Chain A
Amino acid sequence: MKDPYISINEVFIDDPVKMSNEYNLVEQAKNDRFAFGELFDRYYNDIYKYILHRTANIELAQDLTSDTFIKVMKKLWTFRWRKVPFSAWLFKIASNEVNGYYRKYKSYKKVSLENLNDNINIDTVSENFQIQKELKEAEAKLEENIMFLELHKAIASLKNKYQEVITLRFFENKKIKEIAEISGKSEGTVKSLVHRAVKQLHSKLSSSNLNGGIEQ
């Protein structure tokens, strides 16, 4: 039976050349900061985007992305290749950060970068100013996307495991196999999770204005 949720924009990760390059880069990044920088460049946007889609909060997404990469830096030496792409490992850390945050605070509270990470000091005022400006602009841009924010409200009311699979499946366009690799669950379990998540989301949307819009 065909998976009803497969999108056209599937990103194929089973590319041997890509895997080989990725392997070399990750192994090098374990000891070499410049290689780590390259790894950071390659994956920062994907991770930030995913966390932003989970949180729908520019500043929080930025903080949690920082946390994710600090953790990656510290734990990279423990990473072992087990037929799972490196990106799955990164997404798993990012997911854990978001889930952990929600477990801890239940709802969003503004957390400063300095408080979250003792190792990183943003030391110049001008840089801070520029970053704050960038954050504000990004927030404004996000607020324009009303459709997403409304949908996110409904998604955010679901359990973490459902939020995770819906975001990965529909916003990040991940295949079932990739979600299984990230979440450490079997493909069958992920399919079932996605199905239940969509069902629950549907019931949330039914009572909201957004759903009414769809019905029209």
Chain B
Amino acid sequence: MKIEKSIEMLKKVKPPEIFLELSKAKLRQQLLDNKHFKKKPFRKRHYIFRYAFSTAAVIGIVMAFVLFRFLPREVSAKELINNLEAVYNRSFVADKIHYIKTLFKTKGEHFGSYLMETWKYQENMIRVMFKNETNDKIIGHVIYKENNKYELQTGKKDSNYKIRIVKKDLGPGGICADEKTIKAYRIMVFPTKTSDKTTGKKKKVNILMIKDNFDIFGFCSQTPQNIFDKLKADPYVEYIGSEIDINTHKKVVILERKSSPDVKSFQLEYEDDIQTEMNWFIEKLRKKEIKLRVDTESKIPLEQSGPNENLKLERINVVETTKIETETGRIFQITYSLYKKDKLMDKYELTFLEDCFVDYDPEIFNHRAFGLKIKKNES
């Protein structure tokens, strides 16, 4: 109750209502006459500050833009892939032929180098032509249309060399890879460098079994669009840097994918050129119709074969390098480098010389005009 008394008192007491009119008038006059109001800069200073600040901010932004634009800077792989998207995310160009010209090169001489031209029209008409890079001579020409295959007859006899492969049932001395493992791999075959010299008539080939979507035929037939799709899907693509391409003298930026597919390789000894048989063998492997069986003295299964055996199983790392032209933003080149224990074992390079759409012309797929003969489907 006592506090309420004090509150009551506070409310009861009337504070003085005193006003000093003369002092007020005097102070008012002095304030209004004060030099503070007379200085023009009082008003302007504020705007000068604002103006100076705004100008500095604009200059700063312009400078930042200039520096950003003209100073060399590191770009990210993501940025480059986004730029590629603008180039390659094109809708299907109806009634146009997609024409691609590529140059394929390898490090060794087992595949050599050649030019490949492809014309593709509405998914069901494809023409592929291979040329020797040096003399422009056609070394292969094929047209697929209306479910038929038209090929160039080279006159070359089919190879009669044989590879000793036992179909289906295993002999007592054979080596057998686990069928499940075989199914998961793609097969690539190429001769070793020391083939003829050491073994006379016999030849050795390296067989690569790569647990990736990499095979030499697939590598050659990929388009810039395929490469872009692959880069986009891979979260581990790295930006490596930029360089001037020694052939075109154009600036390129480089992206790298380090795939570590479970690559295995082994050597296969055979009696001479076995391309036809080897093609058949690979095809059958792909179709999983046979089990791999290599004629050798060893009885060790393929997966357990040691390095001193005829069959060698070793880990190979594959590095995929994509070069993009900075001027056009297009994929210029893709390279597969195969490393065994950090040593470059092999290198495959595909350069895109042209990639465009051209008007449809039936003559482009006229097999008669190019002397191509129909070839029956092989089972």
A148: contacting residue among B6, B11, B13, B20, CB under 8 A = B13
If A145-B14, A148-B13 touch, does A214 touch B6 (CB 8 Å cutoff)?
yes
Residue A206, interface by CB 8 Å: yes
B361 to chain A, nearest CB (A): 74
- For window 28-69 of B, CB contacts with A under 8 Å fall at 28, 30-32, 34-37, 42-43, 46
Residues of B within 8 A of A33 (CB): 32, 37
Q: Are A147 and B34 in contact (CB under 8 A)?
A: no
B interface: dominant SS: helix
Kindly state the interface size class of chain B when it binds its partner.
20 to 34
Residues of B within 8 A of A142 (CB): 16, 18
| Complex CA–CA separation, A44 to B26 (angstroms) | 12
Q: Are A148 and B16 in contact (CB under 8 A)?
A: yes
Residues of B within 8 A of A4 (CB): 7
Q: Are A170 and B10 in contact (CB under 8 A)?
A: yes
Residue B110, interface by CB 8 Å: no
Q: Mark A123-145, 1 if CB is under 8 A from B, else 0.
A: 00001001100110010011001
Q: Are B20 and A5 in contact (CB under 8 A)?
A: no
Q: Are A198 and B6 in contact (CB under 8 A)?
A: yes
| Complex CA–CA separation, A11 to B42 (angstroms) | 35
Q: Mark A156-190, 1 if CB is under 8 A from B, else 0.
A: 00000000001000110000000000000000000
- Stretch in A66-74, A80-88, A91-99, A101-109 with 4+ CB within 8 Å of B: A66-74
Residue B362, interface by CB 8 Å: no
For B3, the closest partner residue in chain A by CB is A202
7 example contacts (A-B, Cβ-Cβ < 8 A) are as follows A36-B31, A37-B28, A49-B15, A49-B19, A142-B18, A148-B16, A214-B8
Could you list 15 further interchain pairs (A-B, Cβ under 8 angstroms) beyond the known A34-B32, A40-B27, A135-B23?
A31-B42, A37-B28, A49-B18, A58-B20, A62-B23, A70-B31, A122-B26, A127-B26, A134-B22, A135-B20, A141-B16, A166-B10, A202-B6, A210-B9, A214-B6
